[in-house]
Amino acid sequence: MVHGKHAPIIGANAMDSTMVDVTDIPEAAAWDEVVLMGRQGDCKITAHDLAAWKGTVSYEVLVGWRSRLPRIHLGGETAD
């Protein structure tokens, strides 16, 4: 999600990099926050959503994210 709007992933993920199509989000700019899972504005993506899109289960989505990816949990606290 970018600016509270879904931005489709394009291409393949490579070396911790992902490209998204922001054609329909004119206010998008370099260094904008991108939310992979969570809530931004009125838009929400859950682990179950990601799993359904990938054809797997939510547990596989959650354990597949590496430790260098920052996590912000509900309540605003981060986990190290």
DSSP labels, 18-44: EEE--TT-TT--TT--B-SSEEETTEE
Per-residue pLDDT at 8 exceeds 70? yes
Provide the residue ranges of all domains of the chain, joining segments of one domain with +.
1-36, 46-80
Whether this model's pTM surpasses 0.75 = no
Rounded average pLDDT over 50-56: 93
- The tokens describing 61, both together, are 């989505």
Q: How confident is the model at residue 14 (pLDDT cuts 50, 70, 90)?
A: confident
**pLDDT value of residue 49:** 94
What 3-state DSSP class applies to 54? helix
The full length of the chain comes to 80
